[in-house]
Amino acid sequence: MKKWLLFFMLFFAGAVVFLVPAAGFTKTAYFVQAGYVDLEAVVKSYTPKYLDKEIVLLQDMIGKSTAASNNSGYYTLSDAELDEARNLLQNRRSALEKLRYSKRYWETRGELADAEIAGRIQKDIMDAIKKTGVVEGYSLIFDSTENLLYGSEEVDLTKKVLFRLEERLLDRTGSDFDELGLY
Protein backbone atom coordinates (compact mmCIF):
# COMPACT_ATOMS: atom_id res chain seq x y z
CA MET A 1 0.00 0.00 0.00
CA LYS A 2 2.84 2.37 0.81
CA LYS A 3 4.29 1.60 -2.63
CA TRP A 4 1.10 2.71 -4.36
CA LEU A 5 0.82 5.78 -2.22
CA LEU A 6 4.43 6.73 -2.93
CA PHE A 7 3.92 6.07 -6.66
CA PHE A 8 0.74 8.18 -6.68
CA MET A 9 2.43 11.05 -4.83
CA LEU A 10 5.42 11.04 -7.21
CA PHE A 11 3.11 10.88 -10.23
CA PHE A 12 0.99 13.74 -8.90
CA ALA A 13 4.08 15.82 -8.04
CA GLY A 14 5.49 15.20 -11.54
CA ALA A 15 2.22 16.14 -13.14
CA VAL A 16 2.08 19.36 -11.15
CA VAL A 17 5.69 20.23 -12.04
CA PHE A 18 5.05 19.76 -15.78
CA LEU A 19 1.43 20.86 -16.18
CA VAL A 20 1.22 23.97 -14.00
CA PRO A 21 3.99 25.91 -15.80
CA ALA A 22 2.62 24.81 -19.18
CA ALA A 23 -0.85 26.03 -18.23
CA GLY A 24 0.59 29.40 -17.20
CA PHE A 25 2.47 29.85 -20.50
CA THR A 26 -0.24 28.88 -22.95
CA LYS A 27 -1.03 32.49 -23.77
CA THR A 28 2.59 33.63 -24.10
CA ALA A 29 4.16 30.62 -25.80
CA TYR A 30 5.01 31.26 -29.44
CA PHE A 31 6.35 28.81 -31.97
CA VAL A 32 9.19 30.38 -33.92
CA GLN A 33 10.07 28.99 -37.30
CA ALA A 34 13.43 30.16 -38.60
CA GLY A 35 15.16 29.77 -41.93
CA TYR A 36 18.10 31.19 -43.80
CA VAL A 37 18.87 32.52 -47.26
CA ASP A 38 22.20 32.46 -49.08
CA LEU A 39 22.09 36.11 -50.15
CA GLU A 40 25.29 35.83 -52.14
CA ALA A 41 23.76 33.09 -54.30
CA VAL A 42 20.52 35.06 -54.66
CA VAL A 43 22.34 38.23 -55.77
CA LYS A 44 24.55 36.31 -58.22
CA SER A 45 21.55 34.58 -59.74
CA TYR A 46 19.05 37.45 -59.80
CA THR A 47 21.20 40.43 -60.83
CA PRO A 48 22.05 39.36 -64.41
CA LYS A 49 18.45 38.24 -64.99
CA TYR A 50 17.15 41.55 -63.69
CA LEU A 51 19.54 43.54 -65.89
CA ASP A 52 18.65 41.47 -68.97
CA LYS A 53 14.92 41.93 -68.35
CA GLU A 54 15.24 45.69 -67.82
CA ILE A 55 17.34 46.05 -70.99
CA VAL A 56 14.76 44.14 -73.05
CA LEU A 57 11.90 46.20 -71.63
CA LEU A 58 13.64 49.49 -72.33
CA GLN A 59 14.58 48.40 -75.85
CA ASP A 60 10.93 47.56 -76.50
CA MET A 61 9.79 50.91 -75.11
CA ILE A 62 12.32 52.79 -77.25
CA GLY A 63 11.23 50.80 -80.29
CA LYS A 64 7.59 51.68 -79.65
CA SER A 65 8.46 55.35 -79.13
CA THR A 66 10.43 55.40 -82.37
CA ALA A 67 7.57 53.73 -84.23
CA ALA A 68 5.15 56.25 -82.76
CA SER A 69 7.30 59.11 -84.06
CA ASN A 70 6.74 57.77 -87.58
CA ASN A 71 2.98 57.84 -87.03
CA SER A 72 1.09 60.67 -88.70
CA GLY A 73 -0.42 61.73 -85.35
CA TYR A 74 3.07 62.53 -84.12
CA TYR A 75 3.25 65.55 -86.41
CA THR A 76 0.07 67.04 -84.98
CA LEU A 77 1.65 67.46 -81.55
CA SER A 78 2.48 70.90 -80.26
CA ASP A 79 6.09 72.00 -79.88
CA ALA A 80 5.92 71.44 -76.12
CA GLU A 81 4.53 67.92 -76.60
CA LEU A 82 7.21 67.16 -79.20
CA ASP A 83 9.92 68.35 -76.81
CA GLU A 84 8.45 66.22 -74.03
CA ALA A 85 8.36 63.13 -76.30
CA ARG A 86 11.96 63.75 -77.42
CA ASN A 87 13.12 64.22 -73.83
CA LEU A 88 11.38 61.04 -72.75
CA LEU A 89 13.00 59.12 -75.61
CA GLN A 90 16.41 60.57 -74.76
CA ASN A 91 15.96 59.68 -71.07
CA ARG A 92 15.07 56.12 -72.00
CA ARG A 93 18.11 55.84 -74.26
CA SER A 94 20.33 57.15 -71.45
CA ALA A 95 18.77 54.68 -69.03
CA LEU A 96 19.37 51.88 -71.52
CA GLU A 97 23.03 52.80 -71.81
CA LYS A 98 23.30 52.93 -68.02
CA LEU A 99 21.79 49.44 -67.78
CA ARG A 100 24.11 48.10 -70.49
CA TYR A 101 27.10 49.60 -68.71
CA SER A 102 25.93 48.12 -65.41
CA LYS A 103 25.59 44.71 -67.06
CA ARG A 104 29.12 44.86 -68.49
CA TYR A 105 30.45 46.06 -65.13
CA TRP A 106 28.64 43.21 -63.36
CA GLU A 107 29.99 40.64 -65.80
CA THR A 108 33.59 41.82 -65.43
CA ARG A 109 33.75 42.76 -61.74
CA GLY A 110 30.82 41.01 -60.09
CA GLU A 111 29.41 44.21 -58.66
CA LEU A 112 27.10 47.00 -59.76
CA ALA A 113 28.38 50.41 -60.75
CA ASP A 114 25.10 52.26 -60.23
CA ALA A 115 23.63 52.73 -56.75
CA GLU A 116 20.09 53.28 -58.08
CA ILE A 117 20.06 49.95 -59.91
CA ALA A 118 21.63 48.21 -56.92
CA GLY A 119 18.91 49.70 -54.70
CA ARG A 120 16.14 48.39 -56.95
CA ILE A 121 17.68 44.92 -57.00
CA GLN A 122 18.08 44.98 -53.21
CA LYS A 123 14.45 46.04 -52.79
CA ASP A 124 13.26 43.20 -55.06
CA ILE A 125 15.30 40.67 -53.08
CA MET A 126 14.09 41.94 -49.71
CA ASP A 127 10.48 41.92 -50.94
CA ALA A 128 10.92 38.31 -52.10
CA ILE A 129 12.42 37.30 -48.75
CA LYS A 130 9.57 38.99 -46.88
CA LYS A 131 6.94 37.34 -49.11
CA THR A 132 8.61 33.95 -48.61
CA GLY A 133 8.56 34.47 -44.85
CA VAL A 134 4.89 35.41 -44.82
CA VAL A 135 3.71 32.72 -47.26
CA GLU A 136 5.80 29.93 -45.72
CA GLY A 137 5.12 30.95 -42.11
CA TYR A 138 8.67 31.87 -41.05
CA SER A 139 9.15 34.14 -38.06
CA LEU A 140 12.88 34.70 -38.59
CA ILE A 141 15.00 34.57 -41.73
CA PHE A 142 18.77 34.86 -41.48
CA ASP A 143 21.51 35.52 -44.00
CA SER A 144 23.73 32.47 -44.31
CA THR A 145 26.89 34.33 -45.32
CA GLU A 146 27.61 36.08 -42.04
CA ASN A 147 26.85 34.45 -38.70
CA LEU A 148 25.02 31.25 -39.48
CA LEU A 149 26.76 28.42 -37.73
CA TYR A 150 24.46 25.65 -38.93
CA GLY A 151 21.43 25.38 -41.11
CA SER A 152 19.79 22.23 -42.38
CA GLU A 153 18.43 21.95 -45.91
CA GLU A 154 14.87 22.05 -44.54
CA VAL A 155 15.26 25.68 -43.47
CA ASP A 156 17.25 26.85 -46.50
CA LEU A 157 14.89 29.29 -48.23
CA THR A 158 17.28 30.31 -51.01
CA LYS A 159 15.45 28.37 -53.74
CA LYS A 160 12.08 29.68 -52.60
CA VAL A 161 13.32 33.27 -52.67
CA LEU A 162 14.79 32.75 -56.15
CA PHE A 163 11.43 31.34 -57.25
CA ARG A 164 9.66 34.49 -56.01
CA LEU A 165 12.19 36.66 -57.85
CA GLU A 166 11.60 34.66 -61.05
CA GLU A 167 7.88 35.32 -60.60
CA ARG A 168 8.61 39.03 -60.30
CA LEU A 169 10.60 39.03 -63.53
CA LEU A 170 7.81 37.20 -65.35
CA ASP A 171 5.25 39.72 -64.08
CA ARG A 172 7.43 42.68 -65.09
CA THR A 173 6.06 44.86 -67.89
CA GLY A 174 7.15 48.03 -69.59
CA SER A 175 4.43 49.99 -67.82
CA ASP A 176 6.33 49.50 -64.55
CA PHE A 177 8.88 52.06 -65.78
CA ASP A 178 6.26 54.75 -66.20
CA GLU A 179 4.56 53.97 -62.86
CA LEU A 180 7.82 54.24 -60.97
CA GLY A 181 8.93 57.33 -62.88
CA LEU A 182 12.30 55.77 -63.50
CA TYR A 183 12.62 56.22 -67.26
pLDDT, tens only, 11-22: 444 444 444 444
Q: Tell me, yes or no, whether 111 lies in a domain.
A: yes
Looking at residue 159, its amino acid is K
Q: Tell me, yes or no, whether 119 lies in a domain.
A: yes
CB 121 within 8 A of CB 50: yes
Q: Tell me, yes or no, whether 145 lies in a domain.
A: yes
**Taking 70 as the threshold, does the pLDDT of residue 163 lie above it?**
yes
CB 114 within 8 A of CB 182: no
Q: What pLDDT is attached to residue 51? A: 95
CB 166 within 8 A of CB 160: no
| 62: CATH | 3.30.910.20
Q: Same domain for 19 and 89?
A: no
Residues in the chain: 183
Q: Same domain for 78 and 158?
A: yes
- 173: phi then psi, degrees, rounded to nearest 5: -130, 165
**Taking 50 as the threshold, does the pLDDT of residue 45 lie above it?**
yes
- Domain of 25, in residue numbers: 1-30
Signed CA dihedral, 120, 121, 126, 129: sign only: positive
Q: What pLDDT is attached to residue 156? A: 83
Q: Can you say how many angstroms the Cα of residue 130 is from the centroid of all Cα atoms in its chain? A: 7
Q: How many domains does the chain have?
A: 2
Q: Count the neighbouring beta carbons within 10 Å of the beta carbon of residue 51.
A: 21
pLDDT, tens only, 72-114: 566 676 778 778 878 888 888 999 999 999 999 999 999 998 8
Q: How far apart are CA 32 and CA 85, in angstroms?
A: 54
Q: Same domain for 40 and 24?
A: no
Mean pLDDT of 135-164: 80
Q: Same domain for 4 and 48?
A: no
Q: Tell me, yes or no, whether 21 lies in a domain.
A: yes
Helices (H), 25-78: 39-69
Q: Tell me, yes or no, whether 166 lies in a domain.
A: yes
Q: Same domain for 162 and 124?
A: yes
Q: Same domain for 12 and 57?
A: no
Given the DSSP bridges, would you call strands 140-143 and 34-37 parallel, antiparallel or unpaired?
parallel
Q: Tell me, yes or no, whether 82 lies in a domain.
A: yes
Q: Tell me, yes or no, whether 182 lies in a domain.
A: no
Q: How far apart are CA 117 and CA 51, in angstroms?
A: 9
**Residue-averaged pLDDT of the chain:** 77
